[in-house]
Chains A and B, each alone.
Chain A
Amino acid sequence: MVAVTASLEVSGLAFAYPDGHQALFGVDFSIARGERVALLGPNGAGKTTLVLHLNGILGGGTGTVAVAGLPVGKEHMAAIRQKVGIVFQDPDDQLFMPTVREDVAFGPAAAGIKGAALEERVRTALERVGMADFADRPPHHLSFGQRRRVAVATVLAMEPEILVLDEPSSNLDPASRRELADILRSLDVTVLMVTHDLPYALELCPRSLVLSDGVIAADGPTGELLSDDALMRAHRLELPFGFDPRSVTMGA
């Protein structure tokens, strides 16, 4: 991990919700440019809360987050939100515009891009996820897997520094799951993938972080972490039946 500028730097992050429930208890980690990292953790570990800190949606606790050297805070908010592309878990939340094209255009348009440049961004982003033919369809007429891919495109259109995916494989059938993996592998951006789908993490991410009870409990090569039975048990992480991370050979 030779980091020139870290894409993402999180230190001492703690946060509680207004109802008093504390989700983060001091989180520290950093991700180098171009890395693909999985953030693993059981339900309720604070994964989504952490994600919402990365582009300053949540804040007001203690600690700092920096994206490409830029601290996340009020003064750089617009720049930060261009740099951090979050793909949320439910594509229905992400796709709020009446048509796919407008939805993909939303981010760049909000950043002031217009006309032909905007069309170009939209077209490229949709092509990268193989959804160019669906530009004029309303999102709710697409299948779940298609919606997830469009959701990725909405973020790609912003040309982010780091792509953050919240449970990208949830509710996908095996074929859509593989298609999405191919798309993610083909992208040349830093990726932070929040998931409890361990085989998917192993397939896509060389490095993993384990978030448990609001702190980073482990940080290392994905294969090693998944092979550490004691660690896995301690943090309620379970591999699917019959899956042995030691027997999997990683392609790239």
Chain B
Amino acid sequence: MGAGHAHRLYRHGHSPVHALPPHTKLAATFLFVVVVVSTPREAMWAFAAYAVLLAVVAYRARVPAGFLLGRLLIEVPFVAFAVLMPFVAEGERVHVLGLSLSVNGLWGAWNVLAKGTLGVAASVLLASTTELRELLLGLQRLKLPPLLVQIASFMIRYGDVITDEMRRMRIARESRGFEARGVRHWGVLAKSAGALFIRSYERGERVHLAMVSRGYAGAMPVIDEVTASGAQWRHALALPCAALVVCLLGWLL
């Protein structure tokens, strides 16, 4: 699941895409994916057009194709599922190379593959051009409940700390000759997980103490605000708007 290397997701840069305010990028990405998902699957050319749109964004953001393609691998489990679909889906069947495939299933597989891949690519572009910190500010600006943003912010701040603790515990286990080899060792691992929970929770309590000590009374003081100009919004929304045109054409043609 690719967790634990949060800082590797972001590619530092000074492109026009990097410079856009985070909430405009979040909104644009989300709208783009909504448009993609709403496109009829028969309009195959539309998906090609979407891919071109994303490629343009990637080019302007100076995100190398290799990086983008590498990150698409997260999708692999669902590719497997998509491959399975033509075999299990219902409806009329065609015979290709001696295999009996469901037409509907083929369409379904295409649908999931195309939309899923575009969705992942859009998210990857967002994550690689927006700093974590900025993403949180963007979510906050987009009126996500403040408490959720705070939880997310603490999770990101301490994600590395906790995974680091987990790694140290593993090293400590292995240093004493323990190697988890099967179900028999679950007890030991679960004890580690339990200890990790206690540590996390106690750290949460200490963090809370530190916050309270500095005057926290339930609401985070707003220190940074992000704002976007009309021009920035227009730039960001160019992507979903272009996509929307493609989508409408897809429905009409």
Residues of A bordering B, CB below 8 Å: 52, 55, 57, 78, 81-82, 84-86, 88, 90, 92-94, 96-99, 101-102, 105-107, 109-111, 118, 138-140, 154-155, 158
**Can you list 27 contacts pairing A with B, beta carbon distance less than 8 Å?**
A52-B209, A78-B217, A81-B215, A88-B206, A90-B206, A92-B158, A93-B207, A93-B210, A96-B154, A96-B211, A97-B157, A98-B133, A98-B153, A98-B157, A102-B223, A102-B224, A105-B221, A105-B223, A106-B223, A107-B215, A109-B221, A109-B223, A110-B217, A110-B221, A138-B133, A158-B214, A158-B215
Closest Cβ of chain B to A244, distance in Å, is: 37
Given contacts A93-B203, A98-B136, A105-B223, 6 further A-B contacts (CB under 8 A): A97-B153, A98-B132, A98-B133, A106-B211, A106-B214, A110-B217
Decide if B206 touches A57 in the complex (CB within 8 Å).
no
From residue 87 to 134 of chain B, which have CB atoms closer than 8 A to chain A? 132-133
Decide if A106 touches B221 in the complex (CB within 8 Å).
yes
Q: Which residue of B lies closest to A105 (CB)?
A: B223
B161 cross-chain contacts in A, Cβ below 8 A? 92, 140
> Does more than half of chain B's interface fall in helix, strand or loop, or is it mixed?
helix
B221 cross-chain contacts in A, Cβ below 8 A? 105-106, 109-110
Complex CA distance for A155 and B217, rounded to whole angstroms? 17
| Total B residues in contact with A, Cβ cutoff 8 Å | 26
Q: Which residue of B lies closest to A89 (CB)?
A: B206
Complex CA distance for A113 and B207, rounded to whole angstroms? 22
Complex CA distance for A111 and B214, rounded to whole angstroms? 9
Decide if B206 touches A93 in the complex (CB within 8 Å).
yes
Decide if B160 is an interface residue (CB 8 Å cutoff).
yes
Q: Which residue of A lies closest to B136 (CB)?
A: A98
Closest Cβ of chain A to B203, distance in Å, is: 6
B229 cross-chain contacts in A, Cβ below 8 A? none
Decide if A94 touches B210 in the complex (CB within 8 Å).
yes
A96 cross-chain contacts in B, Cβ below 8 A? 154, 157-158, 207, 210-211
Decide if B198 is an interface residue (CB 8 Å cutoff).
no
Q: Which residue of A lies closest to B134 (CB)?
A: A98
Residues of B bordering A, CB below 8 Å: 132-133, 136, 153-154, 156-158, 160-161, 203, 206-207, 209-217, 221-224
Decide if B213 touches A55 in the complex (CB within 8 Å).
yes
User: Which of A81, A97, A98, A118 lies in contact with B212, CB distance below 8 A?
Assistant: A81
Decide if A98 touches B156 in the complex (CB within 8 Å).
yes
Complex CA distance for A188 and B75, rounded to whole angstroms? 58
Complex CA distance for A110 and B223, rounded to whole angstroms? 10
Complex CA distance for A78 and B213, rounded to whole angstroms? 9
> Does more than half of chain A's interface fall in helix, strand or loop, or is it mixed?
helix
Q: Which residue of B lies closest to A99 (CB)?
A: B133
Chain A CB within 10 Å — which of B154, B203, B214 has the most?
Answer: B214
A99 cross-chain contacts in B, Cβ below 8 A? 133
Q: Which residue of A lies closest to B160 (CB)?
A: A140
Complex CA distance for A154 and B217, rounded to whole angstroms? 17
7 closest pairs, A vs B, by CB? A109-B221, A110-B215, A107-B214, A93-B206, A98-B133, A94-B210, A86-B213
Closest Cβ of chain A to B66, distance in Å, is: 26
Decide if B215 touches A82 in the complex (CB within 8 Å).
yes
A78 cross-chain contacts in B, Cβ below 8 A? 215, 217
B207 cross-chain contacts in A, Cβ below 8 A? 93, 96
A82 cross-chain contacts in B, Cβ below 8 A? 215
Decide if A88 touches B214 in the complex (CB within 8 Å).
no
Closest Cβ of chain B to A210, distance in Å, is: 25
A158 cross-chain contacts in B, Cβ below 8 A? 214-215
Complex CA distance for A35 and B168, rounded to whole angstroms? 41
Complex CA distance for A81 and B211, rounded to whole angstroms? 10
Decide if B215 touches A155 in the complex (CB within 8 Å).
no
A111 cross-chain contacts in B, Cβ below 8 A? 215
Q: Which residue of B lies closest to A52 (CB)?
A: B209
Decide if B157 touches A140 in the complex (CB within 8 Å).
yes
